[in-house]
């Protein structure tokens, strides 16, 4: 009995010692990397090499071009408006800037192939009276050199053409006021201009070579015109500056002669 017990005890000690040796050998072997440890190691390596992004030359050029044509006010712009009808093709340039917040001042001019000249400046203030009012002021000067005149009466023809010229300084102001910002609208303004007639140029004869002040009253005169206007209306459009659904109904426009006409401006584009 003692011999068998001693043999069993020795076998137990040998088994425990072998298992401990096997476990120690396994723990000393390197463990395979898991997905989490791989991600953590990569993040640590990346953190050690971080540095600010350096913008390339190509990106700088593209960004500058984008700022020039998008999200910015185009200061220099083409201006192709003619001084008066019959002037032919006109080309010019304008310069617009903001003298103050939201307000714009556009200075522009054009010159046509028939020597028609136009120079004007327009000031727009769209947010007066806590965004209830808008003011537009326009002033300028135009010179037309060969405006066609075909005589007086019904028996004239294209062969009767004569030319006259004129110079015209002009100025106008228009104020729009919406007390509730929608629906009710009040507008008033005035325009002043002076027409200084002169001899015409071009291939057709000048008007003062064919007519006299006796046969054509008003020849070689200077006339000043003053026009005033007033409008009261109901405007259901969300914005008069955009094409949105709605309409604007006005009782009319009052002229210096006292006449009145109905004004209706409907917009259905959204």
The pLDDT profile of the chain, 270 residues, written as one tens digit per residue, is: 555 565 555 556 655 555 555 544 445 555 566 777 778 777 777 777 777 888 888 888 888 777 766 656 678 999 999 999 989 999 999 999 999 888 999 999 999 999 999 999 999 999 999 889 999 999 999 999 999 999 888 888 888 899 999 999 999 999 999 998 878 889 999 999 999 999 999 899 999 899 988 888 888 889 999 999 998 888 776 655 444 555 555 555 544 444 444 444 444 434
| Cβ atoms within 10 Å, residue 200 | 23
Q: CA 172, CA 119: separation in Å to the nearest integer?
A: 14
Q: CA 41, CA 22: separation in Å to the nearest integer?
A: 30
Cβ distance 133 to 177 under 8 Å?
yes
What are the tokens at 161?
A: 């053409």
Cβ distance 191 to 226 under 8 Å?
yes
Q: How far is CA 221 from CA 149, 176, 208, 218, 224, in A?
A: 16, 35, 12, 6, 10
DSSP run (H or E) holding 226: strand 222-235
- The length of the chain is 270
Answer yes or no: pTM beyond 0.75: no
Closest listed residue to residue 137, CA positions, set 178, 191, 84: 191
Q: CA 162, CA 147: separation in Å to the nearest integer?
A: 8
Show me where the domains of the chain are located: 2-48, 76-267
């Amino acid at each position: 009995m003692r011999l068998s017990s001693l043999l069993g005890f020795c076998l137990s000690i040998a088994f425990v010692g072998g298992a401990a040796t096997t476990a120690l050998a396994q723990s000393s072997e390197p463990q395979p990397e898991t997905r989490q440890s791989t991600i953590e190691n990569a993040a640590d390596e990346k953190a050690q090499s971080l540095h600010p992004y350096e913008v390339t030359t190509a990106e700088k050029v593209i960004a500058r071009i984008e700022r020039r044509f998008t999200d910015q006010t185009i200061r220099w712009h083409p201006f192709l408006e003619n001084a008066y009808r019959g002037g032919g093709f006109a080309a010019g340039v304008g310069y617009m800037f903001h003298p103050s917040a939201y307000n714009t001042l556009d200075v522009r001019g054009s010159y046509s192939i028939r020597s028609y000249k136009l120079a004007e400046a327009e000031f727009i203030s769209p947010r007066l009276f806590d965004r209830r009012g808008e003011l537009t002021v326009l002033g300028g000067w135009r010179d037309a050199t060969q405006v066609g005149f075909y005589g007086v009466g019904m028996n004239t023809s294209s062969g009767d053409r004569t030319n006259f010229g004129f110079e015209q300084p002009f100025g106008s102001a228009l104020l729009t006021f919406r007390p509730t910002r929608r629906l009710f609208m009040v507008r008033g303004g005035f325009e002043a201009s002076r027409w200084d007639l002169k001899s015409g140029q071009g291939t057709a004869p000048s008007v003062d070579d064919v007519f006299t002040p006796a046969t054509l009253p008003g020849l070689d005169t200077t006339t000043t015109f003053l026009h005033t206007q007033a409008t009261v209306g109901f405007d259901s459009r969300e914005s008069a500056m955009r094409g949105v659904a709605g309409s604007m109904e006005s009782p009319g426009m009052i002229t210096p002669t006292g006449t009145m006409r109905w004004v209706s401006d409907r917009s259905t584009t959204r």
